[in-house]
A and B are shown apart, each in its own frame.
Chain A
Amino acid sequence: MFGNLSERLVETFKGLRAKGKLSAADIDSTLREIRRALLEADVALEVVKTFIAAVRERALGDEVSKALNPAQQVVQIVQEELIVILGGEARRIQFAKNPPTVIMLAGLQGSGKTTLAGKLALWLKEQGQTPLLVACDLQRPNAVNQLQVIGERVGVPVFAPEAGNGSGNPVNVAKDSIKHATQKQFSVVIVDTAGRLGIDEELMKQANDIRKATDPDEVLFVIDSMIGQDAVNVAKAFEDGVGITGVVLTKLDGDARGGAALSVAQVTGKPILFSSTGEGMDAFEPFYPDRMASRILDMGDILTLIEQAQKSFDEQEAMAMAEKMAKDAFTLEDFLEQMQQIKKMGSIKNMLAMMPGAGKLKGQLDNIDEKEIDHTEAIIRAMTPKERRDPKILNGSRRLRIAKGSGMTVTDVNSLVNRFEQAAKMMKTMAKGGNPGIPGMPPGMGRAAMPKQNKGKAKKGSKSGNPAKRAAEIAGIQPPKQGNAGSSFGLGG
């Protein structure tokens, strides 16, 4: 339905790069796209408005007009500002001077409090603490039971004097748990509370009572990363009703862009301490503002991708290859070698999944046949060295032999040879500085031959030395935009 931000910005920036200077109108149209991207990522409207205003101010200033690539600079500012809001005050759990440290969890129903309590307990245990889980969710059927099972899984004792399911007073349980923890010398007490709505005054008062009874060192607001515009209301309600000291973002292993993180951080001014990222009890980590900023903007993990690509492509090899191609000495042996390099980078699907906006390409990604590389390899390996160097000698009987030897059909062999010839021709043109179309290249094949060639070309002043871009091209998926996104934002190589 919508392209990702990177794509749309590339569109906006078309013809802008040549300008070197941005007019106020240019900046506004860029910011409009960013506004939309943020809203689609579920950042609350009021937060988007103040945010965009702040960015606009900075973007209109000297900073941008003096920059080498102003468009890039705007995006840079956006990302910086995002990171500031998300992690302005990065900090860790505050432990009490006199144990036990009390950590209270609060949030809406289904935000993941009980599971998180277990994860947090395990994490603290690994840090050398002796945590105690306290079951104060006496409302949801079997929430107490759930916490007991979780406690067992992570090997942390659970304080659960009440069976729950609607009976018992959570405030008393909380109060008693502190006494219990002091007596038994637990160093941290994690209080799991019932999910409640921000507008439910009675339950908010109860949460506040639990807070008063336990005097917690941390009140962590647990929020689902899939939450939409309502995040602001909910965050405000919990901040006003209970008073929170930090935020935990759950279900970040989903594909929500998680704009709520920004809303909550902005509205409450409280830091996001942790993120919960999977089903396992150890899927729990400190929060990384920079990653979150990229995620909200849907920029993809371009840096990781590039790192990976660079590891597998040997610069010198690439140079030699480019020379060969320019001299028309590109053979099937080289073709095979390239393919092996591609394979070294790992699964093509996985690699493409790291590209910005790849989530939306899921269907297309599934169509990539990783087997095709294997098939091609088999065919080439079934050739004699002479045949590999000079495919022109491949007559009918040789082709039949190769087909039999590789377990493929003669048609497969024919199409490989055809594709190779086209690829070789194309590379020759490109190496000489032309820009040919890419005829008849199936996914995973012809383009596989391109990376090295491009790399070599980059030395000659071509515009694409970016392996990320090439990776996208392998599958023929929206080729130039994806790659450009990285480079034009200053994120790429």
Chain B
Amino acid sequence: MFWRKKNKAAEQAVVQEPEVIVSEVIEESIAPAPEAVVEETSIPNEIPPVEEPVVEETLAEEPVVEETLAEEPVVEEVADEEAPVELVKVELPKRTLTQGFKAVFSRIKFDVENLEELEDVLIQADFGVQAAEDIVSEVKSRAKRAGARTEAELKQILTELLSEKLSRTDSALNLDSGAQPYVILVVGVNGAGKTTTIGKLANYLVEGGAKVTLGAADTFRAAAVEQLETWASRSNSEVVKPNIEGQDPAAVAYEAVEKAIANGSDVLIIDTAGRLQNKQGLMDELGKIRRVIEKQLPISEVLLVLDSTTGQNAMTQAKAFTEVAAVTGIALTKLDGSAKGGIVYAIQDQLDIPVKLVGVGEGINDFGFFDAKDFASGLVGEK
């Protein structure tokens, strides 16, 4: 997956005593934001990925890393799965849907031929009519084949089906694209949670010992730059701001790349203004930002931030942003509410874009990596 070229000592420290660091962070985030929902369960998970600093570059510089290697021969996969499994647990929406599913199975007598209520529940979780129909018919045929009779059996079939369809090998954050700093471009519609997601992600990377620079290329929304600055100071990362108000965002992005290279950052995260996908002019602007960055560095990740309360329009968003900005992953935010974000099923299925991050609150640690199995069992209420 990822790692950086320096700060080996710091990293060792983090790896050895994650508990200490974590608790500090909790206190910090509580102090400025008493309202913030800091889910304790999410904390330990932030750390494991740190333990996999296994990248060629590091080897050359630091022989110590080889020891780490020996301890942890399994490189990416382990970390990827570890992180998501527990992190996704914090999602509250599962409970709601769990009730929905329970209602289905308790009210109707189980009958493979009569799964309309299952379809309803899926529609209510924003899967969309088509996906809901497809899933139901697949569940039906699998149940028939397996001779499933009981509620538990049916639930298991559904869980397996969902997790199967949602599982992919590329749902980890891609941070080994070659040239450093790794550039993450964050895009999305207005109010999806881009800046907050960046703050959390920056903090996570900094905790792992990476040097992070943030590029404030949202020069449109009032106080967006200041909002990012606040996150930068919370997460101990640097921020590159526009020189004048309302500066061309592409210019800010360009300067951010220059600065990140100059200050030896490991990761550069660029914030962009929220834009509705049908605004051609704004989408063109995004294309320009992307091209300008690529003049200096390859982009490792283009994250589309998607509000999980969004309905079927999320598909249009994903399509449009992919067209302009070549989206490589989705950050599904606000999953701590009552929304279930079922539309990502259709998006992964049809557009082949993996969900990578999940946001579950306003606290700096309220995020995790997406895990298909957990998502599926959470939805169905199987644990």
Say whether A and B bind each other. Answer: yes
List the interface of chain A (C-beta within 8 A of B).
1-2, 36, 39-42, 44-45, 108-112, 114-115, 139-143, 145-150, 153, 165-167, 194, 197-200, 202-203, 224, 226-231, 233-234, 237, 251, 253-257, 259-260, 279, 359
A to B CB contacts below 8 Å, 11 in the list: A39-B128, A42-B311, A143-B223, A145-B226, A226-B313, A228-B309, A228-B312, A230-B309, A230-B338, A251-B190, A256-B312
Contact B33 A166 (CB under 8 A): yes
Secondary structure at chain A's binding surface: helix, strand, loop or mixed? loop
- Among B96, B313, B339, the most chain A Cβ lie within 10 Å of the Cβ of B313
Contact B221 A146 (CB under 8 A): yes
Supply 11 further A-B pairs (C-beta < 8 A) apart from A226-B307, A226-B311. Answer: A109-B193, A110-B190, A139-B35, A141-B230, A166-B33, A199-B338, A226-B189, A228-B309, A229-B125, A229-B339, A253-B276
Task: Indicate if B167 sits at the interface (CB-CB under 8 A).
Answer: no
- Among B222, B334, B340, the most chain A Cβ lie within 10 Å of the Cβ of B222
Tell me which of A114, A165, A257 contacts B230 (CB under 8 A). A165
Contact A142 B34 (CB under 8 A): no
Contact A40 B223 (CB under 8 A): no
Secondary structure at chain B's binding surface: helix, strand, loop or mixed? loop
Bitwise interface map of B from 304 to 336 toward A, beta carbon under 8 Å scored 1, else 0: 000101111110100000000000000000101
Contact A359 B191 (CB under 8 A): no
Among all A-B residue pairs, the 4 with the closest Cβ atoms? A228-B311, A110-B191, A42-B311, A166-B33
Bitwise interface map of B from 32 to 53 toward A, beta carbon under 8 Å scored 1, else 0: 1111110000000000000000
**Bound complex: CA A331 to CA B299 (Å):** 57
Q: How many A-B residue pairs have CB under 8 A?
A: 167
Contact B278 A254 (CB under 8 A): yes
**Given contacts A145-B226, A197-B338, A199-B92, are A139 and B362 in contact (CB under 8 A)?**
yes
**Bound complex: CA A458 to CA B349 (Å):** 47
Tell me which of A110, A230, A237 contacts B192 (CB under 8 A). A110
Contact B276 A109 (CB under 8 A): no
**Nearest-Cβ distance from residue B140 to partner chain A, whole angstroms:** 20
Contact A112 B190 (CB under 8 A): yes
In chain B, positions 109-154 with a C-beta closer than 8 Å to chain A are: 120, 123-126, 128-130
Task: Indicate if B287 sits at the interface (CB-CB under 8 A).
Answer: no
Contact A146 B309 (CB under 8 A): no
Bitwise interface map of B from 219 to 236 toward A, beta carbon under 8 Å scored 1, else 0: 011111011011100000
Contact A279 B312 (CB under 8 A): no
Contact B221 A254 (CB under 8 A): no
Tell me which of B35, B92, B278, B350 contacts A203 (CB under 8 A). B35
**Bound complex: CA A451 to CA B63 (Å):** 78
Contact A166 B34 (CB under 8 A): yes
List the interface of chain B (C-beta within 8 A of A).
31-37, 92, 96, 120, 123-126, 128-130, 189-193, 195-196, 199, 220-224, 226-227, 229-231, 276-279, 307, 309-314, 316, 334, 336-340, 343, 350, 362
**Given contacts A197-B336, A230-B339, are A142 and B190 in contact (CB under 8 A)?**
no
Contact B231 A228 (CB under 8 A): no
Return the chain B residue nearest A40 by Cβ: B312
Return the chain B residue nearest A256 by Cβ: B313
Give chain B residues whose Cβ lies under 8 Å from the Cβ of A359. 278, 316
Contact A230 B227 (CB under 8 A): no
**Nearest-Cβ distance from residue B229 to partner chain A, whole angstroms:** 8
**Nearest-Cβ distance from residue B194 to partner chain A, whole angstroms:** 9
**Bound complex: CA A234 to CA B334 (Å):** 13
Contact A224 B35 (CB under 8 A): no
**Bound complex: CA A360 to CA B189 (Å):** 19
**Given contacts A36-B129, A112-B191, are A224 and B309 in contact (CB under 8 A)?**
yes
Contact B316 A228 (CB under 8 A): no
Tell me which of A141, A147, A255 contacts B227 (CB under 8 A). A141
**Given contacts A45-B120, A109-B193, A228-B126, are A255 and B223 in contact (CB under 8 A)?**
no
Contact B309 A254 (CB under 8 A): no
**Nearest-Cβ distance from residue B107 to partner chain A, whole angstroms:** 15
Contact B191 A111 (CB under 8 A): yes
**Nearest-Cβ distance from residue B124 to partner chain A, whole angstroms:** 5
**Nearest-Cβ distance from residue A20 to partner chain B, whole angstroms:** 31
Give chain B residues whose Cβ lies under 8 Å from the Cβ of A110. 190-193, 307, 334
Tell me which of B32, B276, B311 contacts A227 (CB under 8 A). B311
Contact A255 B313 (CB under 8 A): yes
Return the chain A residue nearest B133 by Cβ: A36
**Bound complex: CA A45 to CA B132 (Å):** 13
**Bound complex: CA A146 to CA B229 (Å):** 13
**Bound complex: CA A42 to CA B128 (Å):** 9
Give chain B residues whose Cβ lies under 8 Å from the Cβ of A141. 195, 199, 226-227, 230-231
Contact A153 B222 (CB under 8 A): yes
Tell me which of A142, A230, A231 contacts B226 (CB under 8 A). A142
Contact A166 B309 (CB under 8 A): no
Give chain A residues whose Cβ lies under 8 Å from the Cβ of B279. 253
**Nearest-Cβ distance from residue A29 to partner chain B, whole angstroms:** 16
Contact B129 A40 (CB under 8 A): yes
Contact A198 B337 (CB under 8 A): yes
- Among A1, A141, A147, A198, the most chain B Cβ lie within 10 Å of the Cβ of A141
**Given contacts A40-B129, A108-B309, A228-B126, are A1 and B350 in contact (CB under 8 A)?**
yes
Contact A108 B32 (CB under 8 A): no
